[in-house]
Amino acid sequence: MPKPYLWHPAAVHFPIALLLAGLAAALASSRGKGKSCLADAASWLLWLGTASAWAAAGLGLLAAKTAPHVPPAWRTLAEHRHLAFWTVALFTALSLWRIFWRERRPRLFLLAWLCASAVLLSTAFHGGELVFSYNMGTEASAE
Q: How many CB atoms lie within 10 A of CB 139?
A: 8
Please provide the size of the chain in residues.
143
Give the pLDDT confidence of 91-134 residue by residue, as tens digits.
Answer: 999 999 999 987 778 899 999 999 999 999 999 999 999 989 98
Work out the average pLDDT over 17-40.
Answer: 88
d(CA 95, CA 21): 15
24-31: long-range pairs with CB below 8 Å, 24+: 26/109, 26/110, 26/113, 27/110, 30/106, 30/107, 30/110
Q: In sequence order, which residues have a C-beta less than 8 Å from that of residue 70 and are 6 or more positions away?
A: 134, 135, 136, 141
If phi over 0 gives left and psi between -120 and 50 gives alpha, with beta otherwise, what is residue 34? Answer: left
Work out the average pLDDT over 81-95.
Answer: 97
pTM (predicted TM-score) = 0.89
User: Which sequence spans correspond to the domains of the chain?
Assistant: 4-142
Indicate the fold that domain 4-142 takes in CATH: Four Helix Bundle (Hemerythrin (Met), subunit A) (1.20.120)
Give the pLDDT confidence of 37-73 residue by residue, as tens digits.
Answer: 888 999 999 999 999 999 999 999 998 888 888 889 8
Relative orientation angle of helices 74-100 and 106-132, to the nearest 10 degrees: 160
